[in-house]
Amino acid sequence: MNQLQMRIRQILVGQTTVNPDRIICRRDGTVEIRRVYYHRSATPSEWAEKVRQVLASNGVQCRVAGSEIWAAWPRDSYLVAVAMPEVNG
């Protein structure tokens, strides 16, 4: 786990705005943030923007992409945000 991943994990575990159910640190340096939903209250891009705002307000600048993993009931569906380092170039 690199420094950015540790910082993102610390921020998201200690706040109540995004309420992630699962935080997964990947070997490629990205962080996958999942939240279970039954009735979707936001689009994946809206939820990803909310995650980005929480991280930015805590001093972490990164790109965040949103998607969802949908499954028919009774299986769980997830909003997914993937945080990745900004590419300077």
Q: What is the pLDDT of residues 3-58, one digit of tens each?
A: 999 999 999 998 888 889 999 999 999 999 999 988 878 899 999 999 999 999 99
Amino acid symbol at 50: K
Taking the C-alpha atoms of residue 34 and residue 48, their distance in angstroms, rounded to an integer, is 10
Domain spans of the chain?
A: 3-85
For residue 89, pLDDT beyond 70: no
SS3 sequence of the chain: CCHHHHHHHHHHHCCCCCCCCEEEECCCCCEEEEEEECCCCCCHHHHHHHHHHHHHHCCCCEEEEEEEECCCCCCCEEEEEEEEECCCC
Q: Which fold has domain 3-85?
A: Gyrase A; domain 2 (3.30.1360)
pTM for the structure as a whole: 0.88
